[in-house]
Amino acid sequence: MKIIAGNWKMNGSLAMLRDMYAAIADVKTNNIVVLCPPFTLLNVRHMDGVECPKHLIIGAQDISEHDGGTFTGDISAKMVAESGAKYVIVGHSERRANHGETSELVAKKAVKAIENKLMPIICVGENAAQRESGSAFDVVGEMVRKSIPNIDSEIIVAYEPVWAISAGKIETGKNDRTATTRDIAEMHVFIADILKEIGRAGTKILYGGSVKGSNAAEIMAIPNVDGALVGGASLKASDFVATVLAADIN
């Protein structure tokens, strides 16, 4: 059983959510399917006779490290939990790059998630310059060690090399870079070893970076890959369904 989590980023509308609910309702899969729409859609569970299917878990894309108070624009873990969401992404590379989020901050957010019974998906991943300079393993190792809080509770880790997100478009403006099976396998075993060392053997490790229907089966078959975090291919219902089904390799 794999975990396939869609991350809509700053995309989405009521119409898109309705289409997704209708499409996922018909999907039979052994995978755990998660959808992380923007905050404004988190508690929308039915529209025009279409219900959120029971086998679709809703998650948020971020939470505050604070419980509440004078933090204009921020959303707490408690608010997200009250919306009915069960998962939350923390430390996505776009939060780290665009909002200066450090691994220490990400760990604080993960603590708030756990305290509010949200499953944190803790993202780590090196950028293109770090990969090219040969420091990818050092960077990711440090991110894993510092972003995971020292609390005895289940978490999920997502390895997302920044240079492979949107096929490299974010970093280079071109859509021409994807990770090879070997790139993914090497980093996932490296992360799995660190997780073992810190007493978290068996933690699920998702891969993210241009996963879609045409490559999901191959990526899911790589050792230590327990699922996928899916950006672009989660936006259109038919693409997300194709990814969920292709990933159902068991």
Q: Is 92 marked active-site?
A: yes
Q: Which residues contact 99 (CB under 8 A, 6 or more apart)?
A: none
The nearest distance, CB 160 to ligand PEP, in angstroms, is: 5
Start-to-end CA distance of the chain, whole Å, equals: 7
Is residue 7 a contact residue for ligand PEP (CB under 6 A)?
yes
Assess contact for 160 and 208: CB atoms under 8 A.
Answer: yes
- CA atoms within a 13 Å half-sphere pointing along the CA-CB vector of 48: 8
What SS3 class is residue 15? helix
* CA–CA separation, 86 and 176 (whole Å): 34
Residues of this chain, 162-191, that bind ligand PEP according to CB under 6 A? 165-166
The nearest distance, CB 23 to ligand PEP, in angstroms, is: 18
DSSP state, residue 127: -
| Alpha helices, DSSP H, located in 62-118 | 77-82, 93-99, 103-115
Residue in 229, 241, 244, 246 binding ligand PEP, rule: CB under 6 A: 229
Among the options 65, 92, 126, 171, which is catalytic? 92
The nearest distance, CB 84 to ligand PEP, in angstroms, is: 22
Q: Residue 10: which of 124, 97, 110, 94 has the closest Cα?
A: 94
| Shortest-Cβ-distance residue relative to ligand PEP | 231
Question: Nearest 5°: CA angle at 161, between 102 and 126?
Answer: 45
Among the options 65, 160, 171, 188, which is catalytic? 160
Question: Judged by CB, which is closer to ligand PEP: 32, or 233?
Answer: 233
Is residue 160 a contact residue for ligand PEP (CB under 6 A)?
yes
The nearest distance, CB 229 to ligand PEP, in angstroms, is: 5
Is residue 232 a contact residue for ligand PEP (CB under 6 A)?
yes
Question: Judged by CB, which is closer to ligand PEP: 38, or 45?
Answer: 38
Is residue 231 a contact residue for ligand PEP (CB under 6 A)?
yes
Is residue 210 a contact residue for ligand PEP (CB under 6 A)?
yes
Please give the positions annotated as active site: 92, 160
